[in-house]
Amino acid sequence: MLTDDMKKKIEEECHRCGNRQGACIEAIQTAQTFWGWISDENMEHIARFLGMSPAELDGVASFYNHIYRKPVGKHIVMVCDSVSCWVMGYEKLLDHMTQRLGIGLGGTTADGLFTMVPIQCLGACDKAPAIMIDEKLYTDLTPEKFDRIIEKYREGA
């Protein structure tokens, strides 16, 4: 269910766009910051709130990579798989991350803390390889640096 707080935020987006369908991607993203992901049921709630059909909204949502339709971990680890990171050794790093977290791209750790997803260029190519956890950018990554970062998130959990 959409809470009043969420409705208020979505309403603001609609107002900002001056158009209800125009706000649909933002509306989903707003809802996602609360739920972490969008279930079918919640997709319906949002669609109804925007005056769209659920199928129509789902069609839009499925196009975009950052809209999650499955439960995700508390933190999203976005791994840049674009060219500069690749030239600077992304594959080795990915191997390490996969081992360390025990999940592949798209997977979620058993403790529900991390979901790892691939992402296009983070615009940090000059300090490749780069990843972004939630909204924080980590650059010039090495396996050791990654381990330290992950430890910090674990401690914070």
Partner 1 sequence: MTLTFEDLQQIAKIEKDKQEGIKYQINVCVAAGCLSCQSGVVKESLEREVNRRGLENWTRVKGVGCLGLCAVGPLLYLEPDGVYYQGVQVSDVSEILDSLGGSPVSRLDCSSHLPFFKRQQKIVLENCGKVDPESIEDYIAEGGYQALYTALRAMTPNEVIDDVATSGLRGRGGAGFPTGLKWTAVSKAFNKTKFVICNADEGDPGAFMDRSVLESDPHRVIEGMAIAGAAVGATNGFIYVRAEYPLAVRRLRHAIAQAERLGVLGKNVFNTTFDFEIKVRLGAGAFVCGEETALIASIEGRRGTPRPRPPFPAEFGLWGFPTLINNVETFANIPPIIRNGGDWFAEIGTEKSKGTKVFALAGRVNNTGLIEVPMGTPLRDIVFDIGGGIPENRRFKAVQTGGPSGGCIPEQFLDMPVDYESLAKVGSIMGSGGLIIMDETSCMVDVAKFFMEFCMSESCGKCVPCRVGTTQIYNLLSSITNGTGKSADIPNLEELCDLVKNTSLCGLGQTSPNPVMSTLRYFRDEYEAHIHDKTCPAGACNCGGSKEAK
What's the residue count for the chain?
A: 157
> Which member of 2, 6, 10, 23 binds partner 1 (CB under 8 A)?
23
CB of 124 to ligand FES, least distance (A): 4
Tell which positions 26-85 bind partner 1, by CB under 8 A: 26, 28-29, 59-60, 63-67, 78, 82-84
Binding ligand FES (rule: CB under 6 A), the pick from 121, 143, 149, 153 is 121
Stretch touching ligand FES by CB under 6 A, among 19-27, 34-42, 105-113, 123-131: 123-131
The interface region with partner 1, picked from 18-26, 41-49, 97-105, 147-155 by CB under 8 A, is 18-26
Binding at 139: pick from ligand FES, partner 1, none (beta carbon under 5-8 Å per type): partner 1
Residue 122 CB coordination number (10 Å) = 21
CB nearer partner 1, residue 3 or residue 62: 62
Cβ atoms within 10 Å of 115's Cβ, excluding its own: 24
Which entry of partner 1, ligand FES, none binds 132, CB below 5 to 8 A by partner kind?
Answer: partner 1
Q: Which stretch binds partner 1 (CB under 8 A): 16-24, 93-101, 104-112, 148-156?
A: 16-24
Contacts of 93 (CB under 8 A, 6+ apart): 79, 129, 141, 142, 143, 146
CB 68 within 8 A of CB 37: yes
What is the per-residue DSSP string for 110-138? TTS-EEEEEES--S-GGG-S-EEETTEEE
CA distance 136 to 106: 19
